[in-house]
Amino acid sequence: MLSNQGAEKAPLGIYGGMVGRSASDPSASDVEKAPNWQERRRTIWALSRTAASLLYPAGTSKEDLKGVATCRWAVQSKAVGVDVHLSDYQESGQRRASFGGLQTCGLVWKCPACAARISETRRRQVNAGLEWAKEQGYRIAMMTLTARHGDGDELAALLSAMKGAKKRLHQHRAWKRLKPQVVAMLTATEVTHGRNGWHPHFHVVVIVKTKEAEAALADMGDPWRGALRAEGLDGAAAAFDIQDASAAGRYVAKWGAGEELTMSGRKTAKGKGRTPLQLLEAHKAGNEDAGELWLEYAAAFHRRTQLDGLKKLVDLAGLDDVTDAEAAQDEAQDGQERDQEPVTNIDSDTWRQKARKRRTDILDAAETDGAAGVWSVIHGPGARCDIARPPPPKPGGLIEQLMSSVQRPRQGP
């Protein structure tokens, strides 16, 4: 429930989730403190298991395990097993390992590992969409919408009321006058938790046709505050902010930047506020209350879209439409060139019995020593280097032709 009556209210700071911290900052997340991308990967994958333990406590039946519980943990096919791949990343110049043949959940709010892949895909799409908009001569601005909040406010109720307020804003006569000039609009929802409870906020990137329409966006502050009051919320001047295209570009560049960082992990909350990723970190360190808060967050964001309005921009700009499930998979994506053949293959029994609890050790070893490193981690130093599973015969190739001739039934006498 909302508790705007009498509850201590947080200052209406807008940029709490946007500014990254340095590794030396004591308020930085464990992900940001990691000295390199291998340690960040290790941290994020460990936090995915922490999320799984919260959502599926000990004693949960095997049949009920799904989503993040099986993500990058269970094989897709027992017959095929798990491939270990190496890929080159164009932007960083790094050579990294990944698995093929593991299940992925595609749950952007609950799974740090999937969120990392999905957020990187969305960042690239948005950047490409904004470049397209600039080429068309359109104007770009970013509104940030928030509301006053208190320690007693339930996150689900806050989100519902703010969503209602945003709908009311779009029904306001000022917005209706502007609407014909709006080309596309993207809304990213973020949340932190601090001394004054949950702090959800919307970052809205708006693409409009003219300079006059861009100027009109600055007049949406009063309609937004009126919409908040109609939903039982309130907000002073800081409940609304508008910035130009350069600010929108900086925001998108940070949002989801790097496939090893999740959206919320990249942008550490100011002060004592914590992002959902930091709540997971706190629970992993033994803070049970942080775990309960994370579960509240996971329930409130369930089935919510990470970036509302993206489909329209993708269509307008002629970009590929990629689902969350597709983006979450550790397969080649933009900026990633995967080697044609895997380094090696791990059979499903070996994966389940010896390998999956050492997933990041295996990837680290593959990046350093290839197949020999993988099997050294699994079976110990000096273990036999297994041979990569051979690829299937090429369609129409010699092997297929020979097999066809062998299997062809004999003709009549």
At 131 the pLDDT is 92
Alpha-carbon radius of gyration of the chain:
25
At 250 the pLDDT is 78
Torsion angles phi and psi, residue 121, rounded to 5: -65, -45
68, with CB counted inside 10 A (0-12, 13-18, 19+), is buried
Sorted by sequence, the CB contacts under 8 Å of residue 356 that are 6+ apart come out as 73
At 120 the pLDDT is 84
Residue 49 lies in a domain: yes
Residue 89 lies in a domain: no
143-166 burial, b if ≥16 CB within 10 A, otherwise e? Answer: bbbbbbbbeebebbebbebbbbbb
Q: What's CA 239's distance to the chain center, in Å?
A: 26
207: β partners: 140, 184
For the chain, the helix, strand and coil percentages under 3-state DSSP, each to the nearest 5:
45, 15, 40
At 268 the pLDDT is 47
276 in the Ramachandran plot: left (φ > 0), alpha (ψ -120 to 50) or beta? alpha
At 10 the pLDDT is 39
321, with CB counted inside 10 A (0-12, 13-18, 19+), is exposed
- DSSP E strand boundaries for 6-107: 82-89, 95-100
Q: What is the DSSP letter of 405?
A: H
Residue 183 lies in a domain: yes
At 12 the pLDDT is 37
d(CA 85, CA 342): 5
Sorted by sequence, the CB contacts under 8 Å of residue 70 that are 6+ apart come out as 103, 105
d(CA 170, CA 172): 6
Residue 323 DSSP SS3: coil
Domain count, the chain: 1
At 246 the pLDDT is 81
Residue 115 lies in a domain: yes
Residue 155 lies in a domain: yes
Helices 310-317 and 112-135, interaxial angle, to 10°? Answer: 50
Residue 79 lies in a domain: no
Residue 22 lies in a domain: no
Q: How far is the first Cα of the chain from the last one, in angstroms, to the nearest whole number?
A: 85
Give the residue numbers spanning the domain of 141. Answer: 30-70+105-338
186: β partners: 205
Side-chain-facing half-sphere of 219: CA atoms under 13 Å: 12
Torsion angles phi and psi, residue 194, rounded to 5: -145, -160
Q: What's CA 69's distance to the chain center, in Å?
A: 17
pTM: 0.80
64: β partners: none
Tens of pLDDT, residue by residue over 316-336, are 999 999 999 998 887 666 677
Q: Which two tokens stand for residue 218?
A: 């600055």
Question: Which helix or strand (DSSP H or E) is residue 183 part of?
Answer: strand 182-194
d(CA 266, CA 120): 12
Residue 84 lies in a domain: no
At 257 the pLDDT is 37
CA dihedral 117, 120, 125, 126 (to 10 degrees): 140
Per-10-residue mean pLDDT, the chain, length 413: 42 33 47 66 93 95 94 95 92 87 94 89 90 94 91 93 96 97 94 91 94 95 96 87 83 54 41 84 95 97 91 95 87 77 95 96 95 93 58 52 52 47
Q: What's CA 174's distance to the chain center, in Å?
A: 34
